[in-house]
Homo-oligomer: A and B are copies of this chain.
Amino acid sequence: MKISCSKSSLMNGINIVSKAVSSKSAMTNLQCILIESSLSEIKLIANDIEIGIETIIEGNISEAGKIAIDAKMINDIVRRLPESEILIETNSKNQAHIKCERSEFYIPFTSGEDFNYLPEVSKDKSISLSQLTLRDVIQKTIFSISDQENTKIMTGELFEVNGNELKVISLDGHRISIRKVTLKESYDNMKVIVPGKVLNEITKIINGGAEDNIDLFITDKHILFEFNNTKVVSRLLEGEFYKIDQMITNDYETKFSVNKKEFMSCIDRASLFIKESDKKPIIMNIENSGIYMKIDSSFGSMNEEIEINKEGKDIKIGFNPKFLMDALRVIDDENVDIYMINPKSPCYIRDKDNTYIYLILPVSIAA
């Protein structure tokens, strides 16, 4: 193999596929990047079984071939090279010779014969949306997936397509996050559970905006994300997702609107008195036109009042402040509407069109 490419193009490609390099495994191929060059294109591939990524980089090909090379080593070398042309050439000693200006490196490679290529994914079923929208919808729901491997389904997110509507849902036993987006076209109905780890990596790799599209191809077993010159493939999580519609209600006894920033600052101050050694909910008294927040702990006490616009009954209710903060943080609206039923039922933070719904279970408090 003998190829050359610019530093920026190689570095960019390495950064993308490195998201599918295993940091732990001792099986060497899982820690490697495969550089595969035909006579027409240079492809970088990495695959740690959970997630597989390939990307095509621009460059000149003098001699086709393929090599598997330690991902960390090539990353470390290329990152330190000047912004210039990089030559990669194999020699008869099973070394890759990397040359850039006056720097020359020789590092070992393997033939990549037993390298795991990405599985073939049929392109029958697909949806298309902007990279910006996909990243946004993931970032605004991913925080409430579960990290408990024993409830495998909860470690992923439900992607549900109905006509031209995409709904993304995550839940962890204490809360549910739902985001809806309208697609430009209508598609066949689909319902798949995508591993959270893959979605996290996807948000780091896609850097396009509202004008740059990404295609999602879906089969029974796999999801393929295709964008720019890059493919990301992941297995889907198997099983039936929770029946969310049955958990959600539009009924409420108390509804109020509150300034999001003020509410967050107040919760943040109250959280100060919640420590590992003295874990308590924050208690809100929602009365008339105010939330009266009060916390008492062995470290001290705090109380504060926030103005709200309220309809319906007064209520006294307790929450884990983290769950409220996680949801409020990803809402872009200046004011949020919050709906409550009673101190034992979930509360809902949602907008009028239900483009977002954050359901949070309260913590029981002494009456």
Sample (7) of A-B pairs whose CB atoms are under 8 Å apart: A73-B300, A95-B300, A103-B266, A104-B303, A105-B269, A105-B301, A107-B301
Q: Is A243 an interface residue (CB 8 A)?
A: no
Q: Is A265 an interface residue (CB 8 A)?
A: yes
Q: Is A304 an interface residue (CB 8 A)?
A: yes
| Known contacts A80-B272, A265-B82, A268-B80; A299/B73 CB under 8 A | yes
Tell me, in angstroms, the Cα distance from A265 to B266 when the chains sit together.
49
A106 interface neighbour in B76, B103, B301, Cβ under 8 Å: B301
Whether the Cβ atoms of A306 and B102 lie closer than 8 Å is yes
B-chain residues with CB within 8 Å of residue A95 when the two chains form the complex? 300
Tell me, in angstroms, the Cα distance from A272 to B106 when the chains sit together.
12
Q: Is A77 an interface residue (CB 8 A)?
A: yes
Task: Give residues in A with beta carbon < 8 Å to B.
Answer: 73, 76-77, 80-82, 95, 102-108, 265-266, 268-269, 272, 299-306
Copies in the complex: 2
Q: How far is the CB of A109 from chain B (nearest CB, A)?
A: 10
Q: How far is the CB of A325 from chain B (nearest CB, A)?
A: 13
| Known contacts A76-B272, A80-B272, A265-B82; A106/B304 CB under 8 A | no
B-chain residues with CB within 8 Å of residue A306 when the two chains form the complex? 102
Tell me, in angstroms, the Cα distance from A104 to B80 when the chains sit together.
53
Max count, chain B CB within 10 A of own CB: residue among A103, A107, A108, A302: A103
Whether the Cβ atoms of A102 and B300 lie closer than 8 Å is no
Whether the Cβ atoms of A107 and B77 lie closer than 8 Å is no
Whether the Cβ atoms of A106 and B265 lie closer than 8 Å is no
A-B interface, 9 closest residue pairs, ranked by CB to CB distance from nearest: A107-B300, A103-B304, A80-B269, A106-B301, A105-B302, A102-B305, A76-B272, A104-B303, A102-B304
B-chain residues with CB within 8 Å of residue A103 when the two chains form the complex? 266, 269, 302, 304
Tell me, in angstroms, the Cα distance from A101 to B104 when the chains sit together.
64
**In the complex, residue of chain B having the shortest beta-carbon distance to the beta carbon of A290:** B102
Q: How far is the CB of A329 from chain B (nearest CB, A)?
A: 15
B-chain residues with CB within 8 Å of residue A102 when the two chains form the complex? 304-306
Q: How far is the CB of A226 from chain B (nearest CB, A)?
A: 34
Tell me, in angstroms, the Cα distance from A80 to B81 when the chains sit together.
44
B-chain residues with CB within 8 Å of residue A300 when the two chains form the complex? 73, 95, 105-108
Whether the Cβ atoms of B269 and A81 lie closer than 8 Å is yes
